[in-house]
Structure 1
Amino acid sequence: MTEINSVTTLTREGDVDVITLNSPPVNALSANVRDGLFEGFKAAAASDSKAIVLICDGRTFIAGADISEFGAPGKPSASLPDVQNMMENSPKPVIAAIHGTALGGGLEVALCAHYRVAVPSAKLGLPEVALGLLPGAGGTQRLPRVVGVENALEMMTSGRHVPAKEAASLGLVDELVEEGKLKEGALAFARKCVAENKPLVKISENNTKLEAAKGKPEIFAEFRKKNARKFRGFDAPEANIKCIEAAVNSASFDEGLAVERKLFMGLMTGSQSAAQRYYFFAERTAAKIPDVPDDTPLREIKKVGVLGAGTMGGGISMNFANVGIPVVIVELKQDALDRGLATIRKNYERSRGADPAVTEKRMSLLTGSLDMNDFADCDLIIEAVFERMDIKKDVFTKLDAICKPGAILASNTSYLNIDEIASVTKRPQDVIGLHFFSPANVMKLLEVIRGEKTAKDVIATSMKLAKKIGKIAALAGVCPGFIGNRMLSQRQREAQKLIMEGAMPWDVDRVLYDFGFPMGPFAMSDLAGLDIGWVKENSKGETLRDVLCEADRRGQKTGAGYYDYDENRNAKPSEFTENAINAFIAKTGKNPRKISDEEILERCIFPMINEGVKILEEGKAIRASDIDVVWVNGYGWPVYRGGPMFYGDLIGGPAKVLEKMKEFQATMGDDFKPAALLEKLAAEGKKFGDLKG
C-alpha cells in the first residue's frame, strides 16, 4: 500500500490499482482530497497495472464539493478539472465504484471515469441548483451526453438524487453490484473490461444523445413553460437549462464548457447563491442548542396523543403515522371525529403516488376517541384546540391529571404564553410549545417553544422528533407570536395602513409577490377566509374586514373577499373593495396618495427586520439565522433572498435599515421606532448575521 496523502491510498489488487479515498464525514472534494486524487491517478497511470478502481471508505462515495471552501482563498492545489483530466485521459480503464451518494462534484468525478458501478442503495445526482449554482466541473456537458437532454434537464433543475437502479436504466451506471460487495464487484468489472478489451469511454467525446436534440428548440421551450411557476424568481434553473442548450448547440465540448464556466461564475458571485449557501448552513445550525448538549438523554416517544381532529389536529397526527408512530386522536363529538378521520384518509388517498396499502397501514395507526383518559399511556400529547387561553388552561389542567409521569405535554399555540399554560400543571418542566404550520402534514417548519421551566431533555426530544417526522425545527422563547407570527404582525400592520393611505390590496400583494413570496397578505387572507375569528354579532363596520364580511365577501370560498373570483378562483381587483377603501380614507379627511413600490416593500419588510433584532435582543431566538429558517420554511420567504436578517445585510446592513426606520418614524410615528440594538449595531458597523440571542 502506498499512502498518497492523509486521505488517499494506492493499493494493488492483482493487476488492478485501487485508489481509496477516506476523508470523513462525506469525502467532500476539499483541496486535500483533490491533491490526493490527482497524485493517486498520476501514480496509477504510470504503474504496470491493467486497470484502476476509485473507491471511497466510510458511508459514502464523494458526496460533493466542500461548500465551506466556496469563495474562500486557499493554498494552491490540484483543481477539480486537473483530477478529471487525469482520470479521463488515463491509458487504462478507470472504474468508479459508488456507494452512498455520488452528488455534485462527486458525480462529476465519476463521469470522468470510463465506467461506473454501484450498489443498489446508492444515489446519484447534481443538486447544485439547491445552492443557487450549476455543476461547474463539466457536469452540465457530460450528463446530457449520458442520460439524454430531457433527463438531464429534469435531474439538474430539480437536484433530485436518482436511485442506482434508475441511474442504471438511464445509462449513468454501467453495472449494479451486490450490496456489501462493492470492491469485489468493481474489481471483477475492471478485469472484465481488460479481458474484453472494452474501449476507454470518454463521455466528453460521445455526442450521440445530443444529436437527438439538435434543431429542436421546442424541447427547451416546453420545459421552461412547464416549470415556470416552480422556477419563478430563481436564477440557477435557467442557467442550468442554458448550459444544456450549449451542450446541444456548441461546436465542441470545450465550447460548451466555456459557457458552463461563465454562467457558473455569474451564479457563484451573485446574491442568490450566497443566500442559498447561507441558508444551507443556517438550517443545519438551527438544530444546535448551545445549552442542550448533543448527548442529552432523550425521552422515548412510542405513542402520541393529539387533542382535536380538525385541520391542525388531523395534519399533526399524519406526521406521526407517516413514520410508524401510533396516534390517539381525541375529539369532543363523534361527528367531528368521524369528519377528521375521513379528511385524513382523503389526504392520503389524494397524495401523489398514493399506495392503498400504505394508506391502510397509516390509518391503522390512528385511533379515534371521545375520552381524554385514552391519553393515559401516551408519551407525547399535543393539543390543537381553539386559540384561547382559558380553553388551553382547562385542557392542560385535565392533561396534568390524566397523563403518566414523564409524558411531554405540548401546545400547538401560535401566539399564547407557554409559561402561563404550564402554570396550571404540577409538571411545568414537561410542558413545551410545538407550533406546527398549516397544513401541518405539508409545511416543513416546526417552531419549538421553550418555556421558562421546560426541561432540557424535553427540548432535545422535541428537536430530534421534529427531524424524524420530516420537519425543520427552530427553537424560540416565550413571547407573543414567538418568532414568525411576531414578525408577521409588523408586516400585516403596515399592509393594512398602506391601503388606508392610497395603495390597493393588489398593489401590496404584487410587490410582495414580485419580491418572491408565494402570495401577498390580502390574497392569503382571502385564501384562509376573512371570517376566521370574525363574529357577526360584534361587527360594527369599523374595519374594512367588517365591511367585507358583512357583504358576505369572506374570501375565495364565497367568490369574493378583497378580490373578486371567477368559478376557477382566479382573482381580479374588486371595484367593491376599492370603493370601500376610498370611503374609509374619506372619513379620515385625507386624500389617497400615490405610494411607490419601493415604499410598499420597505414598509412591509424593514419593520420585520427591526422586530427580528428585538427578538434577538430579548434572547427569544438563539441566532439571526434561526429567524431566517423560520421565515423561509413557515412563511414563504424566498430562499434565494436568504431570510429577513440575511436580506437586511444584503441591502446594506443595520445602518441602511436604521436610516429608513428613522425616516419613516419621523413622518409616521413610533410604529417605526428602531430597536436599541439596531442603533448599536449600526454604530459599531456590525451585521445582522453577527447576532446571537
Structure 2
Amino acid sequence: MSVITTRQDGDVLVVTSNNPPVNALGQAVRAGLADAMAQAASDDSIKAVVITCEGRTFFAGADITEFGKPPVGPSLPDVIDTIEASKKPVIAAIHGTALGGGLEVALGCHYRIAIASAKLGLPEVKLGILPGAGGTQRLPRVVGVEAALPMIVKGDPIPAAAAERIGLVDKLVADDQLVESGVAFAKSVIGAASHPVSSARTDKIDSSLGDDFFDNFRKIEMRRLKGFEAPEACVQAVRAAIDLPFEEGVKKERELFGKLVSGTQSQALRHVFFAERAASKIDGIAADTPVLPINQVGILGAGTMGGGIAMNFLSAGIPVTILEREQDALDRGVSIIRKNYERSAARGKFTAEQVEQCMARLTPTLDMNDLADSDLVIEAIFENMDVKKDVFAKLDAIVKPGAILASNTSYLNVDEMAAVTKRADHVLGLHFFSPANVMRLLEIVRAAKTAPAVLKTAMALSKKIGKVAVVAGVCHGFIGNRMLSPRQQAANAMLMQGIKPWDIDDALTDFGMPMGPFQMSDLAGLDLGWNKEKSNSETIRDVLCERDRRGQKTGKGFYDYDENRRRTPSAEVEEIIAGFVAKSGETPQSYSAEEIRDRLLFPMVNEGAKILEEGMAQRASDIDTVWINGYGWPAYTGGPMFWADTIGLDVVVEGLKAYGHQVSPLLADKAAKGEKLNS
C-alpha cells in the first residue's frame, strides 16, 4: 500500500499520509506528495488540496535515518516549493505534532488548521542542525521574527492555541472533524483572488530589528546553550530573513545547514537521540513478556529523595503511600512536596487544581502495614546495607505477593537485599537522581534473579513517569557513580602533584560539564563521612574540615564563597596543598588544560569499557545516556564513549598508558582494530 493516497471530496483533493509511526518525511512520502500535487495541477475538476495524515500525528519531521546517506529525490525543499507554488489553495490539516520538516511542509501550504491538542515546532537545533527546507525563512515571514526566533533557536514546540495567536495556525477545529473541517475550509477559500504565500510575505518582517535585538536575545536566551554551535547558526539564518530576499535567505540557510549536518556536534546529538531510544530496549526479554499493573506505589522515606520520587508517580496519576518513622519528618516531607508543586504551578507547569489532585493522591503514614496493598514499594532510606536488608525483610513479610520491591541505592549490592526476601525475582534497583522530581535519568538495576516481567514493568513505568531509563547490572556504583570514582581519584592525584583545584575544575567546565570535582565536593559538603573525633590531618580534606572549610554551607571549602555562593580561588587552600606536596617529596607538576581534562576523562572511558566487558551495561550508548541525563555531560560531545570514539580510541589508550593506568582489554582490542565502542 502506498504511503500517500488521494481521494476527491467534490472539488477538493484530500492527500493522506500513512507512514507509521510518525509519518516521517522519507523518500516515499516526499515522492507521494510531489505526485499528489502534480495530480491536483493537471486535473481541472480539483479546485483545492487538503494535506493530512493518518495515525497519531501529522508529519513529525524528516527521516533522520537518511542523514549522511546519498540524497534521493525529490528533496524536501523541492516538494515544499511545489506545494507553495500551487495555483490552487493548499490547506494543512494538523493533529498530533507538526515538527521540523512537518512544520516546513505546513508553512509551504497556503493555510493551516489544527486541533487544539496539536503542537507545532522546529526542533532541529536539538539534533545539532537547523531547519533546512526553508523553515528559518518562512516562519519569520508568517509569524514575525520575535515569535519565530525562540522557536527556531530553542527548538521547543508550541501548542496550537499559541500558534493561532501568532498567526501560524489560521483556525482551530474539533478533534473528530479535522479532515471534514479541512475540506470545508478549502471550499471556503476557492475562488479567492489570491492566497497567502509564506515566502512572499513581508507584512510580519520588521526591518528595524538590528544588532541590538539579536545581541540582547543571545544574552538572555542563549546562556544555557553555551558550547552548542547550532543555536548561533539559527540566529544567523533568522537574521537573513530580515536582511535578504527569500531566495538568498534560503541559500544562506542551506549553507549553514550543510556545515552543521556534516559536523561532529550534529553527529553527536543524533547519536544521543538514537541512544535514548536504544536504551529502552532490554536484551534477553521476549516481546510477549507481560507488563505487571502498577496502580499503587509505596515509598519508604519522606526526605529529599523519597519526596522527589513520590512526585514522579503523583504527577503521572498513580497514588502513593509514603512512610516515615516520626510524625515531624513525615509532616516536613509532605510540606516540601506541596511547596515543590506550588513552585511549579507558579511557573505555569501545573494549575492550582492539578496541584490539589496530585496532593490528594498522596497518603502519608507511620505504619508500614499501610504499604501492604502496594504494587511497587521503593525504599529511599539511609545508604547502609544492614538497614536496607532489615527493611527488605520486613517489607517481604508485609507487602502482598507479586508486588515489586525496589531500592533507590546509589552504590549498594541489590542481590544482597533480594537474598533476605522470599521474592528475589521481584526485587530490583531503581536509582533516581537528585532532585528526583526533576532529573530525567533512572538507572534500573537488574539483579541476578530479577524476573523479565519485573524488569519490563520497570522500563514501561519509567516512560509513564517521564524518565530516561537505562538498565545496569549489579556492581559498586552501577554505571554512573562507578565511572565517577576514577575521575575523582585522578583529580585527587593531581592535587597531590600540585595542580590547583580551580585549574582542575575549569578544565571540565570549559569542556562543557556543569561543574568540576572540587566544586561538586564543596556543594555536597566536605564533611560528608568525615569524623571530627577521628580526624588526624591525614588528607587535604581532613585539614579543610578541621579548619571549618566544609564547603558552600560554611562559606569556604576548596574555594572561598561570597554571599551569592560565587567561588573564588583560596590562598589558604593553595598553601595547604603545597604543604602536602612538599611532605610527599614529589616534584610539583604543571599540566595544560587539555592534559588535565584527559587525565580526568580517559580513566572514565576506561571504566566504561570495563562495565561493557562485564556486561554491567547493555551497550556503549547506554553509558552515554547515563552521563548526559544524570551528570550533565555535554550532549554536543555525544557522551563519554562517543567522545572517545570521536577523538580516537588509540589516543585514549596511549594516554591511559602514559598516565599509568591498566587499560581495559576491550578498549585496547578495539583501539588496535580501529573499531569504535559505539558500533
Matched, 1:324 2:317: yes
User: Structure 1 residue aligned with 2:47, among 23, 32, 50?
Assistant: 50
So what's the TM-score if we normalise by structure 2? 0.97
Match of 2:599 among 573, 585, 603: 603
| Residue aligning to 1:199 | 194
Match of 1:579 in 2: 575
Counterpart in 1 of 2:662?
A: 673
1:67 aligns with 2:60: no
CA contact (8 A) 1:34 1:79 kept: yes
Amino acid corresponding to residue 627 of structure 2 in structure 1: W
Match of 1:664 in 2: 659
1:107 to 100, 103, 109: 103
Deviations for 1:106-164, whole angstroms, at most 9, x for unmatched residues? 11011111111111121111010111110001000011111111111111122112111
Alignment of 1:633-672 (within 5 A): 633-652=629-648, 654-665=649-660, 672=661
**In structure 2, distance between residues paired with 1:518 and 1:171:** 38
CA distance 1:350–1:213, change in 2 (3 Å): farther
- The 3 A distance-change label for structure 1 pair 144 and 91 is same
In 2: Cα distance, 1:85 partner to 1:315 partner: 49
Residue of structure 2 in register with 1:79 after alignment: 75
Q: Is the 8 A contact 1:149 1:213 kept in 2?
A: no
Secondary structure of 2:415's partner? Answer: helix
Letter in 2 for 1:8: I
Q: Which moved more, 1:280-289 or 1:110-119?
A: 110-119
Q: How does 1:83-232 map to 2 (within 5 A)?
A: 83-195=79-191, 197-210=192-205, 212-232=206-226
Structure 2 equivalent of residue 233 of structure 1: 227
Instruction: Give 1:616's aligned residue.
Output: 612
Per the TM alignment, residue 591 of structure 1 is displaced from its structure 2 partner at its CA by 3.4
Q: Deviations over 1:231-270 (max 9, x none)?
A: 11111111111111111112x1111111111111111011
8 Å Cα contact 2:308-2:337 kept in structure 1: yes
Question: Counterpart in 1 of 2:584?
Answer: 588
Q: Deviations over 1:13-33 (max 9, x none)?
A: 111122222222211111111
Query: What is the alpha-carbon distance in structure 2 between the residues aligned to residue 647 and residue 336 of structure 1?
Result: 44
2:464 is matched with 468
Q: Secondary structure at the match of 1:536?
A: coil
Kindly provide the CA deviation profile for residues 28-50 of structure 1, in whole angstroms up to 9, marking residues without a partner as x.
11111111111110121111111
For the 8 Å contact 1:150–1:219, the answer to whether it is kept is no
* Structure 1: distance between partners of 2:321 and 2:6: 57
Paired position in structure 2 for 1:339: 332
Residue among 32, 36, 41 paired with 1:40: 36
1:13 matched to 2:9? The reply is: yes
Deviations 1:510-552 (A, max 9, x none): 1100111111111111112112222222222211111112222
- State whether residues 214 and 249 of structure 1, in contact with CA within 8 Å, keep that contact through their aligned partners in structure 2: no
Q: Return the letter of the residue paired with 2:662.
A: K
Quick one: distance in 2 between partners of 1:215 and 1:123?
A: 28
Measured in 1, the distance between the counterparts of 2:318 and 2:54 equals 34
C-alpha distance in structure 1 between counterparts of 2:134 and 2:294, whole Å: 47
CA drift at 1:623: 0.5
Match of 2:132, as an amino acid? G
Secondary structure in 2 aligned to 1:298?
Answer: coil
Unaligned runs of 5+ in 2: none
- Residue identity in the other structure for 1:622: Q
Change in CA separation of 1:359 and 1:41 when aligned onto 2, cut-off 3 Å? same
**Paired letter, 2:312:** N
Whether the aligned pair in 1 keeps the contact of 2:103 and 2:120 (CA below 8 Å) is: yes
Shift of 1:198: 4.8
Q: Is the 8 A contact 2:207 2:243 kept in 1?
A: no
Cross-structure match for 1:669: none
CA contact (8 A) 1:312 1:438 kept: yes
Per-residue CA deviations over 1:87-116 (Å, capped at 9, x if unaligned) read 111111111111111110011011111111
Amino acid at match of 1:276: L
Which residue in 1 is equivalent to 2:343? 350
In the TM superposition, what are the counterparts of 1:296-315 in structure 2 within 5 Å? 296-315=289-308
Number of residues of Structure 1 aligned to a counterpart in Structure 2 = 675
- The alpha-carbon deviation at position 213 of structure 1 amounts to 4.2
Quote the offset at 1:215 in angstroms.
4.7
Distance 1:199 1:533 in 2: 75
Match of 1:446 among 424, 442, 459: 442
Following superposition, the deviation at residue 445 of structure 1 comes to 0.4
- Equivalent in the alignment of 1:514: 510
SS at match of 1:151: helix
State the Cα distance separating 1:10 from its structure 2 match: 2.5
Q: Distance in 1 between matches of 2:3 and 2:336?
A: 54
State the one-letter code of the partner of 2:485: S
The aligned runs of 1:394-473 (5 Å cut-off) are: 394-473=390-469
Q: What is the DSSP-based 3-state SS (H/G/I as helix, E as strand, rest coil) of the residue aligned with 1:95? A: strand
CA contact (8 A) 2:318 2:361 kept: yes
Amino acid at match of 1:238: E
- Residues 494-505 of structure 1 correspond to what in structure 2 (within 5 A)? 494-505=490-501
TM-score for both structures, normalised by structure 1: 0.96
Does the aligned pair in 1 maintain the 2:525–2:550 contact within 8 Å?
yes
Give secondary structure in 2 for the equivalent of 1:537: coil
The answer to whether structure 1 residue 281 and structure 2 residue 277 are counterparts is no
% same residue: 59
What letter is aligned with 1:62?
A: F
Letter of the structure 1 residue corresponding to residue 263 of structure 2: G
| 2:219 partner SS | helix
SS at match of 2:364: strand
Q: What SS does the aligned partner of 2:195 have?
A: coil
**In 2, Cα distance between the equivalents of 1:386 and 1:10?**
63
Q: Please state if 1:254 is matched with 2:251.
A: no
Contact 1:213 1:219 in 2 (8 A): no
How many angstroms apart in 1 are the aligned matches of 2:55 and 2:293? 29
Shift of 1:359: 2.1
Distance 2:549 2:511 in 1: 28
Separation in structure 2 between the aligned mates of residue 11 and residue 599 of structure 1, nearest angstrom: 65
Match of 2:256 in 1: 263
| CA distance in structure 2 between the partners assigned to 1:631 and 1:213 by the alignment | 43
Question: Retained in 2: the 8 A contact 1:502–1:595?
Answer: no
* 3-state SS, counterpart of residue 108 of structure 2: coil
Corresponding residue for 1:553? 549
Distance 1:684 1:142 in 2: 48
Within 2, Cα distance between the matches of 1:328 and 1:301? 13
Q: Using the alignment, how far apart are the partners of 1:547 and 1:664 within structure 2? A: 27
Check whether the contact 1:236–1:267 (CA below 8 A) recurs between aligned residues. Answer: yes
Structure 1 contact 500–584 (Cα < 8 Å) conserved: yes
Task: Read off the aligned partner of 2:264 and give its amino acid letter.
Answer: S
SS in 2 for 1:564: strand
Tell me how large the CA RMSD over aligned residues is.
1.3
Give the deviation of 1:227 after TM superposition: 2.1
Residue 9 of structure 1: CA displacement? 2.1
- The secondary structure found in structure 2 opposite 1:479 is coil
Deviation string, structure 1 residues 160-185 (Cα, Å, up to 9, x no partner):
12111111111001111221111111
Q: Does the Cα contact within 8 Å between 2:300 and 2:322 map onto a contact in 1?
A: yes
Distance 1:425 1:674 in 2: 39
